[in-house]
Amino acid sequence: MEETPHKNPFKKPFFDLKELVDSIQEHLGCPATIEDTNHRLNAYSSHGIDADPARIGTIISQRVPEKVINRLWKEGIIPKLIQSDSALRIPHIEDIGLRDRVAIAIRKNKEILGYIWVVEGPKKLTDIQLEQLKEAAGVAIPLMAKIQQNRKRKEENYQDFLWQLLTGQFKNRDEIYEQVHELYLKIPNHFTVLVFYFEQDISQAMEEQISYLITTSQKITNHFLVVMDNELILIASPHPSQSDAKAFDSFITYFTSEIANRFSILGVKGSSGNGYSDFSKAMTSYQEAQKVLELKKYFPEELENVYHYSQLGAFLYIDLIQQELPNEHPAISKIRAYDKLHKSNFLKTLEVFIQKDSNMNEAAKKLFVHTNTLHYRMKRVAEIGEIDLANVHEKLGIYLDLMAQKMTEK
């Protein structure tokens, strides 16, 4: 028997998203949620005692769990949702606690404002009901646009303040906190500044993708985001589930990898400054993060896995050494002269040996030689340069001199 067309219950104005989501549940007979483009929960209807873990997790944390988002990307579901104008059926994915769903994007022209998700029961939605859901997505557009507009207005208010803060435009701490009060900003108890350099200027479309990735990762708690040309700056705190030291390193590697994999944005480099509890120290943390990126540019190999200012160690003093040492270390001069005369590479051998903390096995691996060969070479290096390889201070001095020369050459 054919279904009889009837008036679409969603072809009417709704006061807010809560009223709309309750109406979806009432007319489709399924629990529903409405989330924004970054999968933050905007509204949800009631459900029975048998709600699945994905829905419960979303309601408790007010956003879709990270493991669910990652899986939906991996399965190609979110890209399909973004591209489709119609409702999409998502089959049961047991290991992330997701039962059968129907989802549709809330789309304003080509811009995605959010999504409606409906938990489908044993009785599947009919074609007419799927069309009604599409109508509900249309009704949601002005409601979602209003929320988005309010959020953007708030962000615009603090952008100028943050740039003044990060570039040292305020006279004192009291002036900073006065601005915080006037803008009704909620500042974190403890924070770190993260900086990401992109190979090209960050467009509006890229900024939306960046915001999406940061919000959905749930690896850090981001308080403020600032974009200027090709630089992205975050003022963030560790996510409650992460320790301070590991949270930011983990997020930086995750972010640079995912922004490449999901959105084909390559060559992004990230860093973080020290953590502070006084918001007037934001500029200091910002400068520290910039210092990391500056040094990584000069020493990409040596600082490959270094992201945090506190991990720079002796490299913090390289530019000072570069300015204060007019003459080359005598040992370096002697070994360099020997290499030139005999077409050898003892200076590089010495550099790697010190870099690997005098570990013969690790240095031999890096140089692709046998340990016995390296033992012989280091004996000759000590003789030629008249170096005491057991003296940590002498080795460190030589290494810093080598790095300062490398910086000068670059």
Residue ranges and CATH numbers for the domains of the chain are 17-147 (3.30.450.40), 188-310 (3.30.70.270), 320-407 (1.10.10.2840)
For 31, the 3-state DSSP assignment is coil
Whole-Å CA distances, 355 to 276, 351, 359:
31, 6, 9
> Bigger pLDDT: 194 or 79?
194
Whole-Å CA distances, 47 to 32, 148, 356:
8, 27, 59
Count of CA atoms in the C-beta half-sphere (13 A) of 357: 0
- Looking up tokens 């005692």 gives 49
What pLDDT, on the 0 to 100 scale, is given for residue 149? 77
Rounded to an integer, the average pLDDT of 378-405 is 86
Cα 197 to the center of its chain, rounded Å: 12
Rounded to an integer, the average pLDDT of 182-211 is 88
Percent of the chain with pLDDT over 90: 35
Q: What whole-number distance in Å separates Cα of residue 170 and Cα of residue 161?
A: 10
Q: What whole-number distance in Å separates Cα of residue 5 and Cα of residue 321?
A: 81
Rounded to an integer, the average pLDDT of 105-126 is 90
Query: What is the maximum alpha-carbon separation in the chain?
Result: 98
pLDDT for residue 272 is more than 60: yes
Strands 111-119 and 101-108: antiparallel
In this structure, are residues 401 and 331 in contact, taking their beta carbons and an 8 Å threshold? no
Average per-residue pLDDT in the chain? 87
Rounded to an integer, the average pLDDT of 362-386 is 90
Rounded to an integer, the average pLDDT of 75-101 is 91
pLDDT for residue 53 is more than 50: yes
Please calculate the CA angle 218-220-226 and round it to the nearest 5 degrees. Answer: 110
pLDDT for residue 170 is more than 50: yes
Q: What whole-number distance in Å separates Cα of residue 410 and Cα of residue 399?
A: 17
In this structure, what token pair is assigned to residue 29? 């007979």
Query: What is the enclosing helix (H) or strand (E) of 117?
Result: strand 111-119
- The values of phi and psi at residue 35, to 5°, are -125, 160
Rounded to an integer, the average pLDDT of 236-255 is 80
User: For residues 320-343, b (16+ Cβ closer than 10 Å) or e, as one string?
Assistant: ebbeeeeeebebbebbbebbeeee
User: For residues 369-383, b (16+ Cβ closer than 10 Å) or e, as one string?
Assistant: eeeeebeebbeebee
Rounded to an integer, the average pLDDT of 1-16 is 70
pLDDT for residue 1 is more than 50: no
Q: What whole-number distance in Å separates Cα of residue 337 and Cα of residue 343?
A: 10
In this structure, are residues 94 and 125 in contact, taking their beta carbons and an 8 Å threshold? no
Nearest to 87 by CA among 65, 113, 106: 106
In this structure, what token pair is assigned to residue 84? 């489709």
In this structure, what token pair is assigned to residue 402? 């080598």
Kindly report whether the global pTM for this prediction surpasses the value 0.75.
Answer: no
In this structure, are residues 99 and 52 in contact, taking their beta carbons and an 8 Å threshold? yes
pLDDT for residue 155 is more than 80: no
How would you classify residue 368: left for phi > 0, otherwise alpha for psi between -120 and 50, otherwise beta?
A: left
Tens of pLDDT, residue by residue over 180-195, are 888 888 888 899 999 9
Nearest to 207 by CA among 282, 152, 270: 152
In this structure, what token pair is assigned to residue 28? 């489709």
Question: In one letter, which amino acid is 260?
Answer: A
In this structure, what token pair is assigned to residue 179? 């601005």
What pLDDT, on the 0 to 100 scale, is given for residue 154? 66
Q: What whole-number distance in Å separates Cα of residue 312 and Cα of residue 303?
A: 8
pLDDT for residue 321 is more than 70: yes
Nearest to 57 by CA among 68, 71, 42: 68
Rounded to an integer, the average pLDDT of 343-363 is 89
What pLDDT, on the 0 to 100 scale, is given for residue 2? 47
